[in-house]
Structure 1
Amino acid sequence: MEGKKTLGRRKIPLEKIEKEAARYSSFSKRRSGLYKKASELVREFDVNLGIVLSSPSGKSYSFVHPTTDVAIDRFINPTTELDLGAQLVAAEARNKVIQNSDRLNELDAREKAAKEKIRFMDQKNEARVRCWWESMDQFNAEDITKFEGIMNTAEGFLNVQLKQLEDGASSSIHSPPKDADS
């Protein structure tokens, strides 16, 4: 068995990222990942959830489901049941999370399809730029036979066209002029 080509998943020691730009970028990417995971948890397991983050620049971010009050109340007293109003708010918030998640999945699918189409069009344009004779070395015997048939057919059509042009030119030379009677 040949050796691994990548390092794969491995444990990365937690240490401060020294470059400020890299730290901000990493924070943004991880925040998005946390929000996505939080949305999945809410959707799949119908849980109350609250996440509060503070960026390297000091800006605060939060993800709360269904509402801040419900999440804090649940944190303070986990056995408390929600009143009817809070249950309705939670149900509405859950529906919004499901709708937004569905929309996100749809947009991800569209993005994937668009990227695939762009890749296909790039390949098509690249093939168009290359002339057919540049790819002749990639032809197999069947391709060459097909190409030979196409060329023979084209030659036949051109010979017929040439013959018609020659016949038309010779007949117009020998025919009398249209105004010969006058």
Structure 2
Amino acid sequence: MAGRRTPRRRRVEMKQVENEEDKLITFSKRRSGIYKKASELVTLCGSEVGVAIFSPSGKPYSFAHPSIDSIATRFRNRNHPQNVGANNLVESYRRLRIDELNQQHDELVDQINDDKARGKTLKQMTEERDGEGWWEAPIEELSLEELKQMKARMVELRRNLQGSITIRNQGAPSSEGETSNQRNNPSATIA
């Protein structure tokens, strides 16, 4: 078997789309691609970008960073910078805030990944202990907190067993091998 050929990406000839429905679909796809590229320019280069597009039906669409107003103002007044100091101050604060938010985002993503890894570990431990009960856990491997939880569970189990024995002893006739001390004191049977 020579190997399977996968279809390659074809180069589409640039020409006017005639079908109106196809024209709208193509416009929608191309518009999102242009927005994506503009966004990449902003992210990678820190540039200010403004894109204005009109759909085949005449509806305007725009993408701008930091805003369409600031881009348009800067474009119109490129020879006459006004309030450069104030704009620089606002822009510096905005970039600082974006950096802080990006850092918070990265920290949260790291925390989520750590939690997912911990969840996988816990799931794996649970699956490994599938046949074991909580009382069969290796005591040497448990932390102090886990040992305290295990002790509390055992105390609760003992209390439940004593209650069940008391109820059964009160409702059932006494068995021949049972002493009067065991009948009257259920804790004597559980040490």
TM-score of the aligned structures, taking structure 1 as reference length: 0.43
- TM value normalised by structure 2: 0.41
Work out which structure has the larger RCO, using CA pairs closer than 8 Å and 6 or more positions apart in sequence: 1
